Amino acid sequence: MSFKKQWFNAFLACVFFSLLSCTDDENKDTVDPDPDPVATVESKYVVAATSGENDYLVMGDELKAEYTFDATSTDAVQSPGDRTWTFYGDEVVYGFLYNQADAGTTASYVLNADGELSKRNELALDVSIQTRGVVNDQLVLAYSDRLRDTTVEQKAYFYTVDPSTDASKLYTVVSSDLLEEGEAAYFTDITEYEGLLVAGARSISSSSFSSDYYHNTYLVVFNPDFTVKEVIKDEGRTGFVAGQKYSQGETGLEVVENGDLYVFSSGQTNYADANTENIPSGVLKINKGDFAFDSAYFFDITEASGGYNLFRSYYLGGTTFIVSMYPGKNDQATFGVDADRFAVIDVASKSFEWVSGLPTAAGLETDPFLIGMPFIDGESEQLIVPITTSENTHYLYALDPSSASASQLSNVIGEGVKAVGMLKSAD
Average pLDDT over residues 90-99: 86
**Is residue 232 assigned to a domain?**
no
Asked whether residue 197 is assigned to any structural domain, the reply reads no
In 294-413 the beta strands, taken as DSSP E runs, fall at: 299-300, 309-315, 320-326, 341-346, 351-354, 375-377, 382-388, 394-400, 405-413
Give the closest residue to 343 by CA, choosing from 377, 303, 370, 378.
303
Kindly state the helix (H) or strand (E) to which residue 88 belongs, with its residue range. Answer: strand 83-88
Cα–Cα distance, 115 to 165 (Å, whole number): 19
Give mean pLDDT, residues 176-199.
95
Residue 296: which of 350, 255, 259, 258 has the closest Cα? 350
* Residue 426 within a domain: yes
In a domain, 223, yes or no: no
pLDDT confidence band for 103 (50 / 70 / 90): low
3-state SS class at 289: coil
Q: Quick one: which of 256, 264, 172 has its CA closest to 219? A: 264
DSSP symbol at 40: P
List of E strands, 91-195: 92-97, 106-111, 117-123, 131-135, 138-144, 155-161, 168-174, 184-193
| Closest by CA position to 309, among listed 336, 286, 276 | 336
Residue 83 covered by a domain: yes
> Which structural domain range is residue 118 located in?
39-125+364-381+388-396+410-427
Confidence of residue 121 (pLDDT cuts 50, 70, 90): confident
| pLDDT > 70: percent of the chain | 81
Does residue 423 lie in a domain region? yes
Number of folded domains in the chain? Answer: 1
Summarised one tens digit per residue, pLDDT across range 134-155 is: 999 999 999 998 887 878 899 9
pLDDT-based confidence at residue 33 (cuts at 50, 70, 90): low
CA atoms within 13 A on the CB side of 368: 14
Cα 307 to Cα 326: distance, rounded to the nearest angstrom: 9
Residue 72 falls within a domain, yes or no?
A: yes
Q: For the ranges 155-169, 232-246, 256-270, which has the lowest average pLDDT?
A: 232-246
Of the chain, the end-to-end C-alpha distance in Å amounts to 69
| Highest mean pLDDT pick, 9-18, 122-131, 357-366 | 122-131
- Give the torsion sign (CA, 60, 62, 63, 67): negative
Q: Is 66 part of a structural domain of the chain?
A: yes
Q: What is the pLDDT of residue 249?
A: 61
Question: Does residue 363 register a pLDDT over 70?
Answer: no
Say if residue 24's pLDDT is above 50: no
Residue 282's pLDDT band, with cuts at 50, 70 and 90, is: very high
Distance CA 92, CA 161 (A): 12
Residue 133 falls in which region: left (phi positive, over 0), alpha (psi -120 to 50) or beta = beta
Could you tell me where the DSSP H helices lie in 79-238? none
